[in-house]
Amino acid sequence: MNRAGRHSPSAAQGVVYGIAIAEALGAELERRGTRRALLVTNTSLAGAGGLAEEVSAALGECCVAQLTGIRAHSPRADVLRIAAALAGHEADLVVGFGGGSVCDATKAATLALANEMTASADLDRLREPDGLRPATLPFVAIPTTLSAGEFTSFAGVTDERVPRKEVFFHPSMAPDVVVLDPALTVATPPRLFFGTGIRAVDHCVETFCSINVTPPTEATALHAARLLPGALRRVLADPDDLDARLDCLVGAWLSVQGVSCGVDLGASHGIGHILGGTAGMPHGETSCVMLPHVLRYNAAFNGVRQAELAAAMGDSTTPLADQVQALVAALGLPGRLRDAEVPRDLLPTIAEEAMLDLWIPTNPRPLTRAEVLALLEAAW
């Protein structure tokens, strides 16, 4: 534990867990007096008979429209489309239903709405949060994956003009309420569910090993490390095990408490942002590939911390990096960049862009561009 520091609790946020969506949303609508709710989701959830219909039914007459087709890595165009729909429908509540991309795009859209951003270039202003008006539109997030972005005030948005994914921050972007209903994750494709589960493992690992972890976030990260591996394996054994799925959702919630309180992460996340935005790799899978290599690189600086996590994950005799790799393999996820179809000739570009990410400078062991490239080559 760091012997001195500052803990900054996240903004007050309600979390409803283990309660069916109809009951959870009904109570929230009544509490807020909602009249005009916009439902934002992706194409796979919005098809005929899809789960978005169940959420829309729970919203009832309050649902003024469904906005579908939100794409992976939250392109700027989708952020602006959501903001325009919120304004056009005069929404008094937005409900984001889906994975991390839906959540991040909706977060950024609420801030874009508050600041009258209507063009892609306008979103450049998100880089300077101190000059922005706060988002005020109430936001309910209903996750179907384990990426846990719904618990933070960060949003990853891809600038299609470059292309590059940027991470924006504003304290007002975090959803007001998060609903964790394990039944809504059953239809999530296994590769996506398990991949984002490893992303949650990455959250708790890089939080616990952070240069500025605090006592409360250290505790939540350690508990997440105890909970997630076993829960993921239980879902693998029985995809209909809702108790295991709820444990996964709770583990993801705990894993990201550090990020929501201002704890800095490291190179697995920093490189992962670029692999996602530049190479189109799902963020869960960037963690599958990069986290073991980053752990080995950092071991000389935080080996004791890694050993504590290894014990929490169930095996004090196996190095943490090896445990993560074994879990990735057990879940049937890619373990190399080439398995995720990342071109090798793109690696130098990824290394250069990674040096601009906010979490490369905060990696426990300092990194140069050449060292980032070496990690990418080892992972390829």
Instruction: Give the model's pLDDT for residue 48.
Output: 57
Instruction: Give the model's pLDDT for residue 166.
Output: 87
5 domain residue, yes or no: no
Task: Answer with the one of 183, 218, 248 that is the final residue of a domain.
Answer: 183
9 domain residue, yes or no: no
Backbone angles phi, psi at 167, to 5 degrees: -105, 120
Whether residues 359 and 287 fall in one domain: yes
Task: Answer with the one of 167, 183, 199 that is the final residue of a domain.
Answer: 183
Q: What is the CATH number of the domain that holds 294?
A: 1.20.1090.10
Whether residues 169 and 216 fall in one domain: no
The DSSP H or E segment spanning 121 is none
Instruction: Give the model's pLDDT for residue 310.
Output: 98
8 domain residue, yes or no: no
Q: Which of 355, 380, 356, 359 lies closest to 370, judged by CA?
A: 355
Whether residues 224 and 129 fall in one domain: no
Q: What is the CATH number of the domain that holds 37?
A: 3.40.50.1970
218 domain residue, yes or no: yes
Say if CB 264 and CB 362 are below 8 A apart.
yes
Whether residues 217 and 263 fall in one domain: yes
Whether residues 44 and 162 fall in one domain: yes
219 domain residue, yes or no: yes
Whether residues 259 and 342 fall in one domain: yes
338 domain residue, yes or no: yes
Task: Please give the torsion angle defined by the CA atoms of residues 270, 276, 279 and 280, in that order, rounded to the nearest 10 degrees.
Answer: 180
Whether residues 221 and 145 fall in one domain: no
Task: Answer with the one of 183, 210, 241 that is the final residue of a domain.
Answer: 183
- Domain enclosing residue 33, as ranges: 14-183
State which residues of the chain have pLDDT below 50. Answer: none
Instruction: Give the model's pLDDT for residue 12.
Output: 57
Q: How many domains would you assign to the chain?
A: 2
Whether residues 26 and 155 fall in one domain: yes
Instruction: Return the percent helix, strand and coil in the chain, to nearest 5.
Output: 55, 10, 30
110 domain residue, yes or no: yes
pTM across the whole model: 0.93
Whether residues 287 and 353 fall in one domain: yes
Instruction: Give the model's pLDDT for residue 7.
Output: 67
Whether residues 173 and 299 fall in one domain: no
Whether residues 275 and 342 fall in one domain: yes
Instruction: Give the model's pLDDT for residue 286.
Output: 97
